[in-house]
């Protein structure tokens, strides 16, 4: 998500400085070119050679080192990055930044730069609560280019417990991604994303589920937030770290997801249904564990509400609805059918039996069909990249809908969304189906494993 971006990592003198080495590695792994500037106090905790080995560049240490200044001066260093991240940011550094003090290399770089600055404070809980620290943070927060990643609560190196631990590194990465993105094409818009599986209880011990991990939905949420959107992520059970600055609504069952979607869908401009919602649930849930010595056991299943179809029918004229379909055969046939029947703007289809395109992996291989019948086929790529390309495509289609829409043969057609809920007029070649919606995959047979999940598992 940071491919081609240049990030300057500032490290100040706190015990959390050792975690900055892992942060540097993670930034590099995300595709960023990373350079490091350290304060003198930081060097007491971590050797500069560590960062040089991780990033492949000499570490910047002093304003008065003639060799360093001849290689990359502090003014050039201030203009080099797309984003500056200071982690850990001590109370001392925060005070200097808020007061406009530039008495070492790192504070001088921050002062001379006009690029976004992400600060990840880390300090003892008492220092964090100090009124001067809070006043300094408030002053920096009021400046548009400074973003604060608040510390976490927990046990500290001193043995005390409280708020002051360096934030989860994934949160810091998320904020760097957001700050580095210049184009915010979802600014002031709300994006609703569903993700993960649902669990349908058989008894207090067992449940019907599927293999979705939620990774695709979480990648979509991060990308939407990076584009400036207000993101609501309705997430089924998962073990993932939630994206930073995203409103997460945890759910367990299909009924709970339906309730959450009904609550939040009216405010959304874009809805992406990537959740693998069970198509079927047990007809009844036992209030005690069912033992095998009770004899043979059969599990009657009943259909769950088709969330995506409901969204397609109630979709506003200015909503854009995207569905996912996880299939194992006749992928395009089933995908196109769902696109039409559920009034989708786009559907993302994949063959989960294909290597690298199924469940519980970090990659995907997808085909995207729009409601004019156009098909895009994307090779295997990380789910984060799929999210980028999908939002590029969504924004392209939304821009086209604001002006004259063109059918597959080039002739103008009515907009796919009308206040009265009308459908798109087919072009001469047909292939266009209903005008809107986003679709989850729903299976035709009831099975004890939940049938075909409603959406593309991530």
> For residue 278, how far is the Cα from the chain centroid?
23
Identify each DSSP E strand in 399-458 by its residue range: 405-406, 412-413, 437-438
Phi, psi of 401 (to 5 degrees): -70, -20
Which tokens is 268 given? 């959304």
Whether 158 is catalytic: yes
CA–CA gap between residue 166 and residue 152 (Å, rounded): 6
List the beta bridge partners of residue 437.
345
DSSP state of 314: H
Residues 6 or more apart whose Cβ sits within 8 Å of residue 413: 405, 406, 407, 424, 425, 426, 427, 432
Identify each DSSP E strand in 42-186 by its residue range: 83-89, 117-121, 146-148, 152-155, 161-165
Cβ contact 292:211 at 8 Å:
no
**Reduced to 3 DSSP states, what percent helix, strand and coil does the chain have, rounded to the nearest 5?**
30, 25, 45
Give the C-alpha distances (Å, rounded to integers) separating 142 from 137, 148, 151, 156: 9, 11, 19, 29
List the beta bridge partners of residue 364.
381
CA–CA gap between residue 392 and residue 402 (Å, rounded): 16
Give the C-alpha distances (Å, rounded to integers) separating 153 from 122, 141, 175, 328: 11, 21, 19, 45
Q: Which of 42, 115, 103 is nearest to 78 (CA)?
A: 115
Cβ contact 106:37 at 8 Å:
yes
Q: Which of 214, 209, 212 is nearest to 193 (CA)?
A: 214
Residues 6 or more apart whose Cβ sits within 8 Å of residue 385: none
Which tokens is 353 given? 């039996």
Cβ contact 419:313 at 8 Å:
no
* Catalytic member of 43, 55, 83, 158: 158
Cβ contact 52:59 at 8 Å:
yes
Q: Which residue has the tokens 């900055």?
A: 20
Active site residues: 158
């Amino acid at each position: 998500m940071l491919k081609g971006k240049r990030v300057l990592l500032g490290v100040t003198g706190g015990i959390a400085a050792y975690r900055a080495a892992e942060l540097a590695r993670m930034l590099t792994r995300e595709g960023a070119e990373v350079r490091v500037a350290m304060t003198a106090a930081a060097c007491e905790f971590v050797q500069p050679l560590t960062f040089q080995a991780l990033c492949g560049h000499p570490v910047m240490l002093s304003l008065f080192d003639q060799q360093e200044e001849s290689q990359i001066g502090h003014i050039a260093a201030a203009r080099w990055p797309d984003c500056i991240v200071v982690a850990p940011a001590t109370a001392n550094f925060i005070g200097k930044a808020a007061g406009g003090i530039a008495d070492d290399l790192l504070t001088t770089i921050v002062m001379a730069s006009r690029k976004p600055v992400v600060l990840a404070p880390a300090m003892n809980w008492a220092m964090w609560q100090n009124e001067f620290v809070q006043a300094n943070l408030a002053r920096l927060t009021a400046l548009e280019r400074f973003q604060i990643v608040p510390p976490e609560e927990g046990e500290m190196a001193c043995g005390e417990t409280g708020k002051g631990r360096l934030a989860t590194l994934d949160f810091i990465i998320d904020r760097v991604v957001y700050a580095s993105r210049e184009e915010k094409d979802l600014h002031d818009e709300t994006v609703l994303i569903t993700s993960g599986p649902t669990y349908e209880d058989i008894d207090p011990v067992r449940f019907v589920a599927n293999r979705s991990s939620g990774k695709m939905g979480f990648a979509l949420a991060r990308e939407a937030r990076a584009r400036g959107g207000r993101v609501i992520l309705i997430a089924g059970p998962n073990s993932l770290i939630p994206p930073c600055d995203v409103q997460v609504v945890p759910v367990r069952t299909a009924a709970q997801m339906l309730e959450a979607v009904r609550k939040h869908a009216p405010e959304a401009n874009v809805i992406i249904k990537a959740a693998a919602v069970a198509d079927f649930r047990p007809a009844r849930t036992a209030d005690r564990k069912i033992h095998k010595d009770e004899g043979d056991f059969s599990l009657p299943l009943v259909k769950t509400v088709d969330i995506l179809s409901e969204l397609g029918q109630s979709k506003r004229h200015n909503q854009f609805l995207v569905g996912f379909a996880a299939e194992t055969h006749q992928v395009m046939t089933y995908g196109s059918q769902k696109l039409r029947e559920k009034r989708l703007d786009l559907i993302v289809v994949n063959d989960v039996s294909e290597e690298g395109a199924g469940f519980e992996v970090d990659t995907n291989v997808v085909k995207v069909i729009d409601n004019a019948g156009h098909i895009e086929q994307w090779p295997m790529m990380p789910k984060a990249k799929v999210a980028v390309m999908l939002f590029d495509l969504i924004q392209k289609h939304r821009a086209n809908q604001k002006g004259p829409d063109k059918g597959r043969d080039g002739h103008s057609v009515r907009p796919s969304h009308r206040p009265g809920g009308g459908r798109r007029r087919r072009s001469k070649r047909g292939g266009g189906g209903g005008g809107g919606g986003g679709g989850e995959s729903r299976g035709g047979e009831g099975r004890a494993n939940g049938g075909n999940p409603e959406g593309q598992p991530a």
